[in-house]
Copies of this chain bind each other. A is one copy, B any other.
Amino acid sequence: MMTGNVATAEGAIAAGCRYFFGYPITPQNDIPRYMSEQLPQIGGVYLQAESELASINLVYGAASTGAYVMTSSSSPGISLMQEGLSYLLGAELPAVVVNMVRGGPGLGNIAPAQSDYWLSTRGAGHGDFGCLTFTPDSVQELYDCTYDAFEIGHKYRLPVMILGDAMIANMSEATRLRERREPPTQMPEWAVGGRRNGRPRRVVNSLWTDVPVMEAVNLRIAERFRQAAQEQTRWEEYGDDRPDILFTAYGISARICKTAIDRLADEGLRARLLRPITVRPFPTDPFARWAGQVERIVCVEHSMGQFIEDVRLSVDCRPVELISRTGGVLMTPEEVIARTRELIAS
């Protein structure tokens, strides 16, 4: 049994990540704590950065050498990383960035929230891209997604965001661990580190004053996103096979929906959950598939209507209803049930 934070850190280590740069912020402080304890023991480097700005640029440097590298933070810290994320994207560098979302905007609070959905899927700073984004809903899945994130990031040369929240970061659950893997020994063909043995020099760069070249770079990055969409889209379905209501939710909201669906079933209401495990790429196919077969689609999110936009864009014109709270207030399954009943009644 471990907390989501520790599972995230341990998942990274198990995947072969040996470099962690970060700056403390609640509710993810157990990640740096664990890393600072573990990494030095296995020949890795934990370095506390002086800020999130430094963190993401330390990550950028380490990533440019081809290393498996990670940072983690929470909402305000992720805002500070936006320029750096854009540089990672532009320079086609992989890295894993964890965001344990808290209530916002501003300093907000340290309660669980999902209001950084846009910042993750649409943000990553200026320019045309967002991060590949995982939205695990359990400690086990936090572990597994983080484990996979490094290989996936390297495969597509894209930064990968693990989008959690204060609740899954701090809950403890049973976690099946995989064997700790050694870091990859072969460096990718784009990694810098000195042009040893006479190989041609390499440059990591995101500056392209020649606009057609910049466009070509953007198109090739977009192509990798497309490929990732084909190969890496993940989702889970849960509940009734012939539902009247299709719930959709990710992360902690999905956990709440699962209980709500079980209870609704007891009350005779057939409901199903379609839960994206990746929100970028977004699992549009299953949405399109189910959209025509249900009476209503209900989106449950702990933000004021961010995730629902992607759902709307995927359900082929079916109306989507929103159940949401904001600012760190968590819904109970009872509340979801009650509000669903209201929707049905109205």
Q: Which residues of A contact B (CB under 8 A)?
A: 53, 75-76, 78-80, 82-83, 86-87, 89-91, 101, 103-111, 115-116, 118-119, 122-130, 205-219, 222, 303-304, 306, 309, 312-313, 316-317, 325-329
Q: How many angstroms between the C-alpha atoms of A78 and B86 in the bound complex? A: 11
10 A-B pairs (CB sep. < 8 Å): A75-B125, A79-B86, A87-B106, A105-B125, A105-B126, A107-B207, A108-B214, A118-B118, A122-B123, A313-B313
Contact yes or no, B89 A105, CB < 8 A = yes
> Which 3 pairs from chain A and chain B are nearest by CB?
A90-B106, A106-B206, A105-B127
Q: How many angstroms between the C-alpha atoms of A103 and B206 in the bound complex? A: 11
Which chain B residues border A309 with CB–CB below 8 Å?
Answer: 309, 313
Which chain B residues border A106 with CB–CB below 8 Å?
Answer: 86-87, 89-91, 127, 206-207
Q: Which residue of B lies closest to A317 (CB)?
A: B317
Q: How many subunits of this chain does the assembly comprise?
A: 2
Q: How many angstroms between the C-alpha atoms of A217 and B78 in the bound complex? A: 22
Q: Which of A90, A101, A210 has the most CB of B within 10 A?
A: A90
Quick one: which of B76, B119, B127, B326 contacts A108, CB cutoff 8 A? B127
Which chain B residues border A80 with CB–CB below 8 Å?
Answer: 53, 80, 82-83
A51 to chain B, nearest CB (A): 9
A145 to chain B, nearest CB (A): 21
A287 to chain B, nearest CB (A): 14
Contact yes or no, A76 B125, CB < 8 A = yes
Beyond contacts A104-B127, A214-B326, A215-B327: 15 other A-B pairs, Cβ-Cβ < 8 A, are: A79-B82, A79-B83, A79-B86, A80-B82, A87-B105, A106-B206, A108-B126, A109-B210, A110-B209, A115-B126, A118-B118, A128-B306, A128-B326, A212-B329, A312-B313
Q: Which residue of B lies closest to A111 (CB)?
A: B211
A229 to chain B, nearest CB (A): 13
Q: How many angstroms between the C-alpha atoms of A316 and B126 in the bound complex? A: 29
A112 to chain B, nearest CB (A): 9
Q: How many angstroms between the C-alpha atoms of A119 and B103 in the bound complex? A: 19
Q: Which residue of B lies closest to A118 (CB)?
A: B122
Which chain B residues border A304 with CB–CB below 8 Å?
Answer: 128, 218, 222
Contact yes or no, A328 B127, CB < 8 A = no
A321 to chain B, nearest CB (A): 15
Q: Which residue of B lies closest to A318 (CB)?
A: B317
Contact yes or no, A109 B209, CB < 8 A = yes
Q: Which of A106, A216, A304 has the most CB of B within 10 A?
A: A106
Quick one: which of B115, B122, B218 contacts A127, CB cutoff 8 A? B115
Quick one: which of B212, B219, B326 contacts A215, CB cutoff 8 A? B326
Q: How many angstroms between the C-alpha atoms of A216 and B326 in the bound complex? A: 9
Quick one: which of B126, B303, B327 contacts A101, CB cutoff 8 A? B126
